[in-house]
C-alpha cells in the first residue's frame, strides 16, 4: 500500500524559505507511471495546487506561485521536496503531497498533511 508522509518545520519566519519533504513508501518516485505533487490548504479555505515533479526530474508549477517555488526529487531516499521562497502569512497552510498518474488523472494518494505557520 502506497504511503506518503510530509515532514518539515511547522513554523517559518516571514521572508524566509519554507522547506518540506515528502517520503514515499510502498512505491517508487522513479516510476515513469506517476507524477508527484504538492497541494496546500490555508486554514478554513479551499485547496490550491502548487506543482509537480515527474520521474525524469521535469517539473510543472502553478503560474501564481512559479516565481517562488522549487520542487525536487531524491530517488536514493525515495523523497521529493518543496521549497517556497519569501514566504508571508498568506502562505500559512496545511501542505499535502500526493501522487497522480498523469495530467488528466486525479490525485489518488495523499499524505496526511502538515501545517506550516508563517509568523515571526
Partner 1 sequence: SYELTQPLSVSVALGQTARITCGGNNIGSKNVHWYQQKPGQAPVLVIYRDSNRPSGIPERFSGSNSGNTATLTIGGAQAGDEADYYCQVWDSARVFGTGTKVTVL
Query: Which residues of this protein are in contact with partner 1, per CB under 8 A?
Result: 37, 39, 46-49, 52, 60, 62-64, 96, 103-108, 110-113
Q: Give the single-character DSSP code of 89.
A: G
Q: Nearer to partner 1 by C-beta: 43 or 76?
A: 43
Compare residues 29 and 39 and give the one whose CB is closer to partner 1: 39
| Residue closest to 85 by CA, chosen among 18, 1, 3 | 18
CB of 3 or CB of 15, closer to partner 1: 3
* Residue 97 CB, nearest approach to partner 1 (Å): 10
| CB 108, min distance to partner 1, A | 6
3-state DSSP helix/strand/coil % of the chain, to nearest 5:
0, 50, 45
90 - beta bridge partners? Answer: none
Q: How far is the CB of 71 from partner 1 (least distance, A)?
A: 13
Amino acid at each position: 500500500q502506497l504511503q506518503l508522509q510530509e515532514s518539515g518545520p511547522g513554523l517559518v519566519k516571514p521572508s524566509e524559505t519554507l522547506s518540506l519533504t515528502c517520503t514515499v513508501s510502498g512505491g517508487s518516485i522513479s516510476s515513469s507511471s506517476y507524477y508527484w505533487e504538492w497541494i496546500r490548504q490555508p486554514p478554513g479555505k479551499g485547496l490550491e495546487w502548487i506543482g509537480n515533479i515527474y520521474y525524469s526530474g521535469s517539473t510543472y508549477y502553478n503560474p501564481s506561485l512559479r516565481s517562488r517555488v522549487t520542487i525536487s526529487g531524491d530517488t536514493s531516499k525515495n523523497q521529493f521536496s518543496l521549497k517556497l521562497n519569501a514566504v508571508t502569512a498568506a502562505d500559512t497552510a496545511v501542505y499535502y503531497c500526493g501522487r497522480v498518474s498523469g495530467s488528466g488523472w486525479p490525485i489518488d494518494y495523499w499524505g496526511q498533511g502538515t501545517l506550516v505557520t508563517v509568523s515571526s
